[in-house]
């Protein structure tokens, strides 16, 4: 019991003040949530006018060989079967060839020039060759991690340390979604080829950013999104009641602890409810004209990369800010020629179709398309394949204010080291953010007392030579 009535009065006043402040914070949170769920979430912190509204990142997981895609090396063909000059490799990190004889392995396919630009593209990628005048091939990429999982982590988050925000989460955090009924960041996966490496969901996690900015994995086959459908016997009206009840409990809890993750959970409940009606319609590609399905090589319910490319266009049309496609199966330590044929055969036509489709619809100019893997492959043989390689490899970009019909950078005569206009992964990130209107120097969040950025603390720069 209270010692006197004055103590009770003081406690009552404290409770009233806390209740008032809690309700005030709830009201402010509610206004923020209402804004989040408005007709369109506009740019939140853009630093200047963007050239791109959205990104479609086509991740060729496993590390496609630059020497059989975009980087033609006739000198390497001349050295085929001979020992690699030690001047190229001495003291260099090599994944599985360390301490073994290093034998040159010539290109396993031919190359042709395509388009008015005359860009050289391998015979494995004739469809991508048909859009040569729309793409910018970066032939001088370098990265810092030589094994798959840390290299994916570095590509996706700018750090080899697990737990940092993914690039899609950064973009979603900075610019918000353009859709009421879909997440701002969506992930789709597919596979073909050799040894498809597992891709952990932390590759699209939000790290130290609020969880509402993390990527949501969609399934092109089966249940569209895990755990979103109503349980058996539960109607939409009943589910709405459950969500309202949970929301009220979360709001009461937020009055006590003022945790931003509670607001995130409320927003996610609401988004999940709206997705129940929007996602099935989105993923049903049967309403696409036959000519479009044939252009992509897509079929209803296949869950293929081709279907995912078509879904990427549909997601872009509906306002998803960052769309990431992972195609697994590019880890060609053996059977390089055979499995390059398989992997390219699954991805070449759909990739080109996506670019053509976006262009035809007037969307390519404000959609930044990025194609590439976590690293390249060695000019040296590993049996009938190639080992991991980080010193020089190729990616391409299209749309979103990037010049088409050009190549940027070069590797040496054997395709080992990037030697001209070198582009580290952090520069790729800086350029992507720049095209979205975000200055990578200023775009940060506080984490453990530090300003955390996608581009990290090492110097990074926008690759201005490739921008229109």
Between 268 and 67, the higher pLDDT residue: 67
Residues 153, 203 contacting (CB under 8 angstroms): yes
List the helix and strand counts (H, then E) for the chain.
12, 17
Average pLDDT over residues 22-34: 38
More confident residue, 389 or 6: 389
User: Which pLDDT score, from 0 to 100, does residue 248 have?
Assistant: 67
Query: Model pTM?
Result: 0.84
pLDDT number for residue 235: 66
pLDDT of residue 265: 62
Q: What are the chain's domains?
A: 53-224+283-466 (3.40.720.10)
Q: What is the pLDDT of residue 195?
A: 81
Q: In percent, how much of the chain has pLDDT > 70?
A: 78
pLDDT at 179: 86
pLDDT at 282 over 60: yes
Centroid of chain to Cα 422:
22
| Average pLDDT of every residue of the chain | 86
Confidence (pLDDT) at 398 = 98
Quote the tokens at residue 391. 């010193």
- Helix ranges, 217-321 (H): 236-257, 260-283, 290-296, 305-317
Give tens-digit pLDDT for 294-346: 999 999 888 899 999 999 999 999 999 999 999 999 999 999 999 999 999 99
For residue 26, the number of C-alpha atoms closer than 13 Å in the C-beta half-sphere is 18
- Residues with Cβ within 8 Å of residue 348, at least 6 apart in sequence: 124, 125, 126, 127, 128
User: With 60 as the cut, is the pLDDT of residue 38 above it?
Assistant: no
| Confidence bin at 262 (pLDDT 50/70/90) | low
Residue 238 confidence (pLDDT): 67
Q: Calculate the CA 437 to chain-centre distance.
A: 18
User: Which residues, 6 or more positions from 320, have their beta carbon under 8 angstroms from its beta carbon?
Assistant: 54, 177, 178, 179, 182, 183, 184, 185, 186
Tokens standing for residue 212: 């509402």
């Amino acid at each position: 019991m209270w010692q006197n009535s004055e103590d009770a009065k003081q406690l009552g006043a404290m409770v009233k003040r806390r209740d008032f402040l809690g309700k005030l914070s709830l009201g402010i949170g509610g206004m923020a949530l209402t804004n989040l769920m408005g007709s369109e979430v506009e740019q939140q912190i853009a630093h200047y006018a963007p050239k791109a509204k959205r990104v479609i990142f086509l991740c060729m997981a496993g590390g496609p060989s630059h020497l059989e895609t975009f980087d033609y090396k006739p000198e390497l063909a001349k050295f085929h079967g001979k020992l690699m000059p030690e001047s190229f490799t001495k003291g260099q990190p090599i994944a599985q060839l360390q301490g073994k004889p290093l034998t040159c392995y010539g290109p396993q396919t031919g190359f042709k020039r395509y388009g008015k630009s005359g860009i050289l593209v391998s015979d494995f990628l004739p469809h991508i060759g048909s859009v040569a005048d729309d793409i910018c091939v970066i032939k001088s990429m370098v990265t810092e991690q030589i094994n798959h999982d840390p290299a994916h982590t570095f590509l996706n988050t700018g750090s080899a340390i697990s737990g940092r925000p993914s690039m899609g989460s950064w973009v979603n955090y900075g610019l918000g979604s353009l859709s009421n009924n879909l997440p701002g960041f969506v992930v789709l996966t597919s596979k073909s080829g050799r040894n498809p490496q597992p891709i952990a969901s932390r590759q699209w996690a939000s790290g130290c950013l609020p969880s509402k900015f993390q990527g949501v994995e969609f399934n092109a086959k089966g249940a569209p999104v895990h755990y979103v459908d109503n349980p058996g016997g539960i109607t939409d009206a009943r589910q709405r009641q459950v969500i309202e009840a949970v929301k009220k409990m979360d709001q009461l809890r937020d009055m006590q602890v003022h945790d931003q993750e509670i607001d995130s959970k409320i927003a996610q409940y609401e988004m999940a409810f709206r997705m129940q009606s929007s996602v099935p319609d989105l993923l049903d590609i049967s309403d696409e004209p036959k000519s479009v399905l044939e252009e992509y090589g897509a079929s209803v319910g296949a869950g293929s990369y081709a279907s995912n490319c078509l879904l990427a266009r549909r997601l872009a049309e509906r306002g998803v800010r960052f769309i990431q496609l992972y195609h697994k199966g590019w880890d060609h330590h053996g059977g390089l020629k055979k499995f390059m044929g398989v992997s390219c055969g699954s991805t070449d036509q759909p990739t080109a179709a996506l670019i053509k489709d976006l262009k035809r619809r007037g969307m390519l100019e404000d959609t930044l398309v990025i194609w590439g893997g976590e690293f390249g492959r060695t000019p040296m043989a590993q049996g009938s394949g190639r080992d991991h390689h980080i010193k020089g490899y190729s990616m391409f970009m299209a749309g979103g204010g990037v010049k088409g019909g050009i190549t940027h950078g070069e590797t040496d005569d054997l395709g080992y080291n990037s030697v001209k206009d070198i582009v580290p992964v952090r520069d790729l990130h800086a350029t992507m953010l720049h095209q979205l209107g975000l200055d990578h120097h200023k775009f940060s969040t506080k984490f453990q007392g530090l300003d955390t950025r996608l581009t990290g603390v090492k110097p990074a720069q926008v690759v201005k030579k490739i921008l229109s």
